[in-house]
Amino acid sequence: MKVKVNGVEYEDEVEPRTLLVDFLRDNLNLTGTKIGCDTTTCGACTVLVNGRSVKSCTMLAIQANGKEILTIEGLSSDSKLNPIQQAFKDNFALQCGYCTAGMIVQAHFILSHERDLSEEKVRDMIHGNICRCTGYQNIVNAILDASRRMRA
Amino acid sequence: MYPAQIGYYKPQNVGEALEFMEGNDAKILAGGQSLIPMLKLRILKPKYLVDIGELAELSFIKEGEETTIGSTTKHWELASKRISGLEIIQNAASKVGDVQVRNVGTVGGSLSNADPSSDYPAVFTALDATMIIRSRRGLREEKAEDFFKGPFTTSLDPSEILERVKVKALKGYKQVYKKIVRRAGDYALVGLALAIKIDSGMVKDARIAFTGVGDKPYRSREAENEIKDTKLTDSDISKAVEASVKGINPPSDSRGSSNYRKEVMKRLLKNSLEEMRNAS
């Protein structure tokens, strides 16, 4: 299969049963994407495939053949934080950090698709991402903050 | 967990998919949002997957007197499109799973999976939709109500694909899909697909179907009949509400007991009918 991940093209052979998250972590060494529940619930493994957020534990790697993938590693460049990452940092939007990569990728998806974000809208759109530290308040604040920064 | 070893076939068109499925132990993969979790848990262990997820010929929404929806149309596509006279579809699609699931999952996959708590089966049953099914023998049509046979069971045989769904627009109907969940992202404890047509204060037609209350979508014709040709007074509504739980014995599970589900059905129907009456 061939995929473009964070702008880099890769070609590899995979078994059909290989999950996208395992392909990213084990074959490409992109371990920023986490495996949380492994049952399509928690969203820690969220990545973008052709611009839309998906749970990479619930997609076969082969389904991504020929597509473009963005993972948390692709959000920043030159060691500079992306505005969403900076907003998460400034708003103390992470505790243990395990859900953070998925949260930020999902936030990136939300912010590139929704202009008028309300707190309610943000809460609805991240309901597929679980933070087991229950730090939702600051996560929601961070996403709203990032939205303001990106518009400014 | 990894699925068991499996073969993968990606057909170029529906014909090739059907040809491959004949005589092979194969499962159709569309978005995979129900299938992949079942493969991972090894509840299902087919020999092959036939990936129809990217067949452009199956992904479309054609509006008209009758709207047809291709089976690999994704939830987010339906959630972002208002179809005149079928607003309930957009309404239901925007409540399936979560954003990530809606980005990948397909309407045909959800319908073929026939989870007794999923959203679309009740909606398409209320809409009197027609399922259009293709096999190498040709096309056949079936009413949604007959298509769903039981939990995770439809009338599809292993050589058939649900190709599209055909629905007549319910022009002038107030329509809504509501679901009650205990936690964000859960399947419905109880879901209600409701459409009523009110003309000069009188209910001309009513469609009432529930999900999560039995082994397949439950259309309550008794409740519908209680409000047809009425002015939807409080007493008409309470008769319909009582009728809605007759003839159904919802399951008890970790999400709620049978009696609790019945109470939720009643409350959901009562509130929704009152809202529709008050808005007209």
What gap in Å lies between CA B155 and CA B129, rounded to an integer?
15
Query: What does the pLDDT read at residue B163?
Result: 98
Is residue A34 within 8 A of residue A44, CB to CB? The reply is yes
Cβ-Cβ contacts under 8 Å, B103 against chain A? 52-54
Window A:106-145, CB contacts with B under 8 Å: 106, 109-110, 125-128
Residue A39 in contact with partner chain B when CB distance is under 8 A: yes
Window B:98-157, CB contacts with A under 8 Å: 98-101, 103-104
Its pTM stands at 0.96
Q: What share of chain A is helix, strand, coil (3-state, %, to 5)?
A: 40, 15, 45
Q: Return the percentage of chain B with pLDDT > 90, whole number.
A: 95
Is residue B129 within 8 A of residue B167, CB to CB? The reply is yes
Unique residue bearing structure tokens 């993972």: A71
* Residue B32: closest CA among B5, B51, B12: B51
CA dihedral B263, B118, B131, A62 (to 10 degrees): 180
Is residue B269 within 8 A of residue B223, CB to CB? The reply is yes
Interface test with A, best of B52, B75, B80, B99 (most A CBs within 10 A): B99
The string of pLDDT tens digits covering residues B99-133 is: 999 999 999 999 999 999 999 999 999 999 999 99
pLDDT along chain A (152 residues), means of 10: 98 98 98 97 98 98 98 93 97 97 98 92 96 96 96 81
Is residue B195 within 8 A of residue B173, CB to CB? The reply is yes
Q: What is the ipTM of this complex?
A: 0.97
Judged against a pLDDT cut of 90, whether residue B186 lies above it is answered with no
The single-letter DSSP state of residue B30 is: S
Count of Cβ atoms closer than 10 Å to residue A11 Cβ: 7
Chains A and B form CB pairs within 8 A to the count of 75
Work out the pLDDT band at B1, boundaries 50, 70, 90: confident
What gap in Å lies between CA A57 and CA A7, rounded to an integer?
21
CA B8 to chain A, closest CA, distance in angstroms equals 6
